[in-house]
Amino acid sequence: MTAKIRTLTGITTTGTPHLGNYVGAIRPAIEASHRDDVESFYFLADYHALVKCEDPQRIAQSRLEIAATWLALGLDTDRAFFYRQSDITEIPELTWLLTCVTSKGLLNRAHAYKAAVDRNTADNEDGDAGISAGLFMYPVLMAADILIFNAQRVPVGRDQIQHIEMARDIGQRFNHLYGAAYRAATRGDSDPFVLPEAVTDEHVATLPGLDGRKMSKSYNNTIPLWLSAKEMKKAVLGIVTDSRAPGEAKDADTSNLFAIYQAFASSEETAAMRQAFADGIAWGEAKQMLFERIDAELAAPRERYGALMSRPAEIEERLLAGAKKARERSAPFIAALRESVGLSTRTAARPVTPGRGAAAAHGSASAQWKRYREKDGRFYFKLVAADGGLLLQSSAFERPDEVGVAIDRLLAMSGQAAIDSTMLALDGRVGICAEVATVANALAVLAEIEREKRAAKAAQD
C-alpha cells in the first residue's frame, strides 16, 4: 500500500469567510481531502487569532462560523482530521520544546516582525513599541502546528513560505540535538520530525473584489460567503464595471465580473460567457448570470450552514471528536519527545549494553504473542503484556500465514514517529485493549528483540 501524503492547513478564526476565501482556499482544500493518496489535517488556528484579536466574543463567534463553514461545504471529518488548535494540549508543550532550540536571530528575520519594527522606526517610535511576544513567537507556534503531526506538505500563499522554511530550520535543529535520544526512546530509525514542504498553487483563483482590487477584508471590498440569496444578488449588482453600453463588445480579460464568473463556472459556461461579452451582453444581464451561477453552487451549503449554526452543540461535538482523533497521534508522539529531552515521567530505561538484549533492558520479561486456533477452525492472535494484561486481540483469519503477516505489520510500525489506534487496528482486524502508548512501547521492544535475533543469526552464519 502506498503511504499517504500528510497535508496540513491552518484556518484563521477571525472574521467571516468571503467568496475569495472559498475559491482560493476552502474549496480546493476540501477537494484535496477526498483524494485517496492524501491524509489531511485541518485546524482552527484560534491560538494564532489571539495575536491579532483581543475581542473574546469575536474569537468565539468566528470559531463557530469557520467550523460551520467547512462542515457545510462538505468536509468529510471521517476521512480528514478537523480540530481546534486549542484542543490539542500537546501543541503548546511542543511550542516550548521548539522555543528552546530556536535562535532569536531566526525570529528577528520573520517578515511580520520586521515589518512591525520598520513601521515603528518610520514613526520615530522604539522598534518594539506595541509588539507582543505573541507576534514575535508566532513562527514557533506555527512550527509546532506543523511538526506535531509531521505534515509533509503545507499549502500556503507566497506570504507564508518563510514560516514553512522556519519550521524546517527549527525541526532540523531539534533533530540534530535530540535525534539520537529520540531513536533510543522509540527504538526506531527515524528522526523526530519530518521537514515540511511549502506548496503554492499558481492556478488557484484569486478573486477580485467589488472594486476590482484583490478581494480582501482590509480593502472592505468582499462579498461574504453566507449572504442570503437576496443579499448576494444585491452584492453582485454592486460589482464595479465600465461604461460600455448594451450591444457594445466588452473585454472579458479585464473584467472583474468575468473573473468571478470564471471561478464558479464550468469551462463550457466560461466559453459561452466570453462569447456573450464579445457580442455585447448588457452588464445587468451578465450580473444576473453571475448571481445565478454563484447561488446554484452555494444554495445547498447555505442551508446546511444555517442548520449547523442553529445547533452549536453539534459543531462542538464534531470538533471534540476531531481533537480526540488527532490526540491519538499527538499524545504518544509528545511522550516520546519528552523522553528524548529528559522530561519523561517514566523510570528511565536502562541502556542496552552489547549482548545484553532489549528484553533485559526493559526487565526480565517482555510482551508475548499468542497464536492459536479456535473451534471455528480459524486462526487468531493476541499480544499479552509481561504482567498478563491483554494489549491486542485479533479477529479471525482464515489461514495461519495471514496471522504472521498481520504481526509483521504491527512490528513494522515500531519505527514510525507516532502510532495511533487507527494504524494498530489494521483495517478493523485488531482490537486494542490498552493505552496506545503502552502497546507502542511493547511493539518497540519486540521489534528490537527480533532485530537482535536476526543480527545474532547473521553473525553465526
CB count in 10 Å sphere of residue 173: 16
In the chain, the number of structural domains is: 3
Q: Which amino acid is at 205?
A: A
pLDDT at residue 365 in the model? 59
44-75, pLDDT tens digit by residue? 999 999 998 999 999 999 999 999 999 999 99
Please check the confidence at residue 363 and state whether its pLDDT lies above 70. no
3-36, pLDDT tens digit by residue? 789 999 998 887 788 998 898 888 988 888 888 8
pLDDT at residue 12 in the model? 84
What predicted TM-score, i.e. pTM, was given to this entire model?
0.72
Residue 202 binned pLDDT confidence (cut-offs 50, 70, 90): low
Rounded to whole angstroms, how far apart are CA atoms 140 and 437?
A: 26
Please check the confidence at residue 186 and state whether its pLDDT lies above 90. no
User: Interior CA angle at 90 toward 88 and 95, to 5°?
Assistant: 115
Read off the C-alpha cell for 187: 527504538
Same domain, 176 and 278: no
Q: What is the CATH number of the domain that holds 399?
A: 2.30.29
> Residue 154: enclosing H or E segment and its boundaries?
strand 153-155
Q: Is residue 268 part of a domain?
A: yes
Backbone angles phi, psi at 110, to 5 degrees: -65, 135
**Mean of the per-residue pLDDT values of the chain:** 89
What's the length of the chain?
A: 461
Please check the confidence at residue 177 and state whether its pLDDT lies above 50. yes
Same domain, 189 and 289: no
Residue 108 binned pLDDT confidence (cut-offs 50, 70, 90): very high
Rounded to whole angstroms, how far apart are CA atoms 188 and 28?
A: 36
Same domain, 73 and 191: yes
Same domain, 291 and 329: no
More confident residue, 266 or 434: 266
CA distances from 441 to 123, 347, 359, 364, 369 (A): 57, 13, 12, 15, 14
Which of the listed ranges 140-154, 189-203, 437-451 does the model predict with the highest average pLDDT? 140-154
CB count in 10 Å sphere of residue 440: 24
User: Interior CA angle at 41 toward 323 and 134, to 5°?
Assistant: 75
Same domain, 292 and 373: no
Of the listed ranges 234-238, 332-336, 404-408, 450-454, the least confidently predicted one is: 450-454
Q: Is residue 349 part of a domain?
A: no
Backbone angles phi, psi at 81, to 5 degrees: -95, 125
CA distances from 342 to 140, 230, 276, 346, 427 (A): 21, 61, 69, 10, 35
Residue 216 binned pLDDT confidence (cut-offs 50, 70, 90): confident
Which of 278, 299, 320 is the last residue before a domain boundary?
A: 299
* Domain that includes residue 242, residue range: 226-299
Q: CA quadruple 30, 32, 35, 37: dihedral positive or negative?
A: negative
